[in-house]
Amino acid sequence: MILLRGSRTRRRRLGVVTAAGGLLAALLTASPAAAIPDPGDSPAAQKEVSSSDRAEAREAIENGEIPGQDEVVHSDNIRHVANIPKDALSGTNSDLAFQGRYAFAGNYDGFRIFDISNPKAPETVAQVLCPGSQNDISVSGDLLFLSTDSSRSDSSCNSTTQPATEKSSWEGMKVFDISDKRNPRYVAAVETACGSHTHTLVPERKNVYVYVSSYSPNAAYPDCRPPHDGISVIKVPRKAPHKAAVVGFPVLFPGEGPDGGGNPGAPTNPGVSKTTGCHDITVLPSRDLAAGACMGDGILFSIKDPERPKVIDRVQDNVNFAFWHSATFNQKANKVVFTDELGGGGGATCNAEIGPNRGANGIYDIVGKGDRSKLVFRSYFKIPRHQADTENCVAHNGSLIPVRGRDLMVQAWYQGGVSVWDFTNSSKPREIAYFERGPLTTDRITTGGSWSAYYYNGYIYSNDIAKGFDVLKIDDRRTDPARWVHMRELNVQTQPDYFD
């Protein structure tokens, strides 16, 4: 049962579990390699809000309509079992990946490795200082991949920021050897056009293909000029990662004109992002499928030939979707959940003014088979709890909770917290559990909250931008069967077949 916002007396404050220490791994450098300033998902500067918004936030707290500042609230079926505050890496926390007993947490200053053998008391194994915007993270075997989406002076981990207009600037993919989790080694750097905002792995036995998503070209950027209507594909030999290289740039939005054939955005479609690349891609290797969230477009494509992905279908929502951000397949691969990051992650969009259909998830059924498959819209889902106008809140990163016969998902909503919801009925999705903190402040918008919330081997792990690494436990008959599904590795954007 979910706690109602009005029943303040039923809320419980939970203690915070901390883990001290951490090992700062030795850093190696790679040769210089090009550039674009960090677009989207960037930590926004604090923004003042009106006196009336400040008063409304404080009144809502006093009336029990929203949690108090930093107060932890949750539904009865979720427990907060651990929190590890940020340590040596003080930047914005970002994405998560998992392997065996380890969790890998991205941060704009580098990445952190946790030993989660005991999820109630995670221990820091290593912290690697390697600044670069996003630092989207994934792992495969002995390799760790890190995205850099800000212009740097070179590809080393001690680089400095540098204008995108400088030809010598670098951004792209970094590769680390993590065979020794306590001492990751930087082994390769690959420059990609317009950097790497996010990336997705398509693993094979001998190689790992990396789909690099980036966007926002500019004629003034030597290494990121329009049209930029596709993705970079990198091939990384597992036994020789230093030979990693770009092997193609498949065009996903062919068309006439300087920006290719994607959504033109304003003024044709006011309030919608112009498509100049993709933000994020999720692959389902067991079905040779991928779903792309590409700014103004959502796409479904085949990856039978990983170096030459082929678009099967493409959809737009020029009424309610501002920025197609990410995608998740259901287990049967007959649905895709797309998210809309209205406001770029820095806006307060979980309120009555914005409403339930914007800054939300869009649920699409996949109708038909093979190359004739079509994406058919069914409904929107947004958390049903309004947030203060000082809280950045919008749909963000989440994963399936693997239960046969049900479509269940856990998802981050920045300061809207962590939501568990059921979309088994595509037309009638509903929330079944939640966890959140009260606003960071009540007088300005300060970017915070859960960036990524993923289910892994019986627990939910959340990387909170400001508060650190959270571990949650859900106890609910609908999700309980997932406890028996254990993965050896999980990169959420490389979606596994949980029951294969």
3-state secondary structure of 425: coil
β-bridge mates for residue 491, sequence order:
494
Query: How do residues 197-240 score in pLDDT, each as one tens digit?
Result: 999 999 999 999 999 999 999 999 999 999 999 999 999 999 99
Nearest CA-CA partner of 278 in 383, 209, 192:
192
Query: For position 52, what pLDDT does the model report?
Result: 77
Mean pLDDT for the stretch of residues 241-254:
97
Distance CA(223)–CA(225), nearest Å, equals 6
Model confidence at 46, pLDDT cuts 50, 70, 90, reads low
Question: Is pLDDT of 62 > 50?
Answer: yes
Calculate the CA 80 to chain-centre distance: 21
Q: Rounded to an integer, what distance in angstroms lies between the CA atom of residue 420 and that of residue 399?
A: 10
Average pLDDT over residues 164-181: 98
Pick the range with the lowest mean pLDDT from 20-24, 261-265, 320-324, 463-467. Answer: 20-24
- pLDDT, residue 109, reads 97
Q: In the predicted model, what is the mean pLDDT of the chain?
A: 90
What DSSP line would sit under 171-227, residue for residue? -EEEEEE-SSTTS-EEEEEEE-TT--SEEEEEE-SSEEEEEEE-----TT-TTSPSP
Which one-letter DSSP state was computed for residue 13?
-
Instruction: Return the percentage of the chain with pLDDT > 70, whole number.
Output: 91
Domains, the chain, with CATH or none: 8-273+345-355+377-490 (2.130.10)
Worst-scoring range by mean pLDDT, 52-56, 334-338, 401-405, 448-452?
Answer: 52-56
31 near 155, Cβ under 8 Å? Answer: yes
pLDDT reported for residue 56? 79
Q: Is the pLDDT of residue 113 over 80?
A: yes
Residue 41 scores a pLDDT above 90:
no
* DSSP string across 280-341: EEEEEGGGTEEEEEEBTEEEEEE-SSTTS-EEEEEE--TTT-S-EEEEEE-TTSSEEEEEE-
pLDDT at 148 over 90: yes
Among 257, 301, 249, 246, which Cα is nearest to 277's? 249
Reference 128, options 20, 23, 199; nearest CA is 23
**Rounded distance, CA 77 to CA 472, Å?**
10
Q: What's the pLDDT band for 162 if we cut at 50, 70, 90?
A: very high
Give the rounded percent of residues in the chain with a pLDDT score beyond 90.
Answer: 84
Q: What is the pLDDT of residue 180?
A: 98
Question: Which residues lie across from 360 on neighbouring strands?
Answer: none
How far is Cα 81 from Cα 459, in angstroms, rounded to an integer? Answer: 10
pLDDT band at 44 (very low <50, low <70, confident <90, very high): low
For position 71, what pLDDT does the model report? 94
Residue-wise pLDDT for 367-422, tens only, equals 999 999 999 999 999 999 999 999 999 999 999 999 999 999 999 999 999 999 99
Higher pLDDT, 102 or 64: 102
Q: Give the per-residue pLDDT at 8.
A: 29
Q: Which of 97, 326, 327, 306 is nearest to 203 (CA)?
A: 306
> Tell me, what's the pLDDT at 64?
80
CA distance 405 to 13: 34
